[in-house]
Amino acid sequence: MKVKLSPSLMCIDLLNIENEIKILNMKANEYHVDIIDWHYCKNMSLAPCFMEQISKITDIPMDAHLYVDNIDMDLIELCCQSGAKILTMPPEIIEKQVYRMKRYLDSQNVQFGVFINPAVSLEIIKPYAHIIDRLLIMSVDPGFAGQPFVEATLKKIAEAKQYREENHYHYSIAVDGCCNENYYKQLYEAGVDVFIVGTSGLFGKNTDTKKALDIAVSNIELATR
């Protein structure tokens, strides 16, 4: 595929995790792990200990997406120790310690990422865009699956791609939220490198996860060929 496929594990069948991961391992390029603390947004989800267990049955890189209101170095270190290879964090929370975090993540061979919510401008990351490895653009408000796609996301993705190219930066662009066949083509053409797929793009396609995965991959290949 021309883009990376990143299943969102908050949407997985938690009663059959090991079997689900073994199926997803066949075609997933990354795993997206939402860590939500009830404070940044009103939901609670996965945790570093979840990643630690998943790392026993996969070598596929995991992106720890931290919807956390009080991110400190202890949490960063725990995520790295638990197997995360990418950390995506809210810029408004980490702006006082961006360079410290980047230095530590580099020392652990973990990518430094930030995510931008739908109402937040790309301007917020420009002072340190040169050190970002992953820019995750939210296409729904944070915290809950099943929300409608925010159309303004497409313009923001195109802007992020243009800004990267003009300045010779290296960050990859991921999209999270209502990422499915209704938008794959538009997202790809706008500049997305990583599709984070949840219920609408993957797990809801069939009760058989192998068949659902095949459908998702087929839809993505069709939209990006």
Catalytic residue flag (residue 176): yes
How far from 120 is each of 64, 88, 124, 139, 141, CA to CA, in Å? 20, 15, 8, 11, 11
Of 72, 141, 176, 214, the active-site residue reads: 176
- Dist CA 110 CA 40 (whole Å): 23
Residues in Cβ contact with 86 at an 8 Å cutoff, skipping those fewer than 6 apart: 30, 61, 62, 63, 64, 110, 111, 113, 133, 134
Q: Which two tokens stand for residue 213?
A: 């995965």
User: Tokens 């638990």 appear where?
Assistant: 82
**Catalytic pick among 34, 37, 208, 214:** 34
Catalytic site residue 34? yes
Count of CA atoms in the C-beta half-sphere (13 A) of 112:
22
- The token duo for 163 is 């800004």
Which residues does the annotation mark as catalytic? 34, 176
